[in-house]
Amino acid sequence: MIIIIQCKDRVGLVADISRILSEAELNIISMREHVDKAEDRFFMRLEVDGIADEIPLELSLTQILPKGAMISVNPVPDKKIVVMVTKEYHCLADILIRNNFGTLGATVLCVIGNHSVLQKICDRFDIPFFLIPYHEDKAVSERDIIFKIKAYQPDYIVLAKFMRVLSPQFVANFPNKVVNIHHSFLPAFAGASPYKQAFERGVKLIGATAHFVTDDLDEGPIIAQQIIPVNHSFTAADMVKSGKEIETSVLAKALHLVLNDRVFVYKNKTVVFE
């Protein structure tokens, strides 16, 4: 059983939580906790062994925790996700392979694309693919996507190189439920052909960032990041290849953390228990 807690900090929280679990005859086999002193915020993830009714246990914890505490007892272990794509295959392919062999930590319910390029790979893995192109009226397209997503009721939505900016109205339907992956360059390059820009500038580091989507473009709470060195011997094509590999790796790591309830969001930051 997994228990996750986020609340205002105070003296004796760990002792009180441990007492409640002991009274329920639950043995703590893993406990991770963190206090953000600047925000006076307490975060905890527990793995416990034993059998207990989830609702009474959550009620007991609520009674001893500060008002407004966020508690989840034994969140659904088998998450469900919807994937959104455009034309790039590398992140989607990795997700579909992991899903096929049962190592993703979630079930892919469907894939939604604004181009049909990736339908064939979805067909090979027997995953429903829905083509919803973007029209001149963006709101209409997003309405259709939201309708399709809600029909599946996923736990999370994964943007596997979905190359469209989502509106605040879209994001508001799925707060802290949309995970995105994008490149990270030092220095940063925005707009079209970022790898070409990086090559022409002679960058020495490229990387990737996975984050939750908010109204601020690519500035949501960060889940995972990674960088790798490059040098003068790299061609633009080499940078693209390396960039795709690191994007795939970082998204896979981020999904592992999120799907295993190891990521806590508070304001625009995350606490990640790896």
CA quadruple 15, 17, 20, 22: dihedral, nearest 10: -70
- Report H helices in 24-130: 54-64, 90-100, 119-124
> In what helix (H) or strand (E) does residue 240 lie, and over which residues does it extend?
helix 236-259
Beta-sheet pairing, 106-113 with 79-85: parallel
d(CA 124, CA 183): 28
Count of residues in the chain: 274
Among residues 62, 57, 77, 64, the alpha carbon closest in space to that of 2 is found at 77
Active site residue: 9, 155, 218, 238, which one? 218
Tokens describing residue 264: 């806590």
Residues 129 and 122: beta-carbon distance below 8 Å: yes
CB 87, CB 120: distance < 8 Å: no
Question: Measured between alpha carbons, how far is 121 from 89 in angstroms, rounded to an integer?
Answer: 9
- In angstroms, the CA 120 to CA 110 distance is 13
Answer yes or no: 218 catalytic: yes
User: Which contiguous run of DSSP H or E holds residue 222?
Assistant: strand 222-229
Which residues are marked as active site?
218
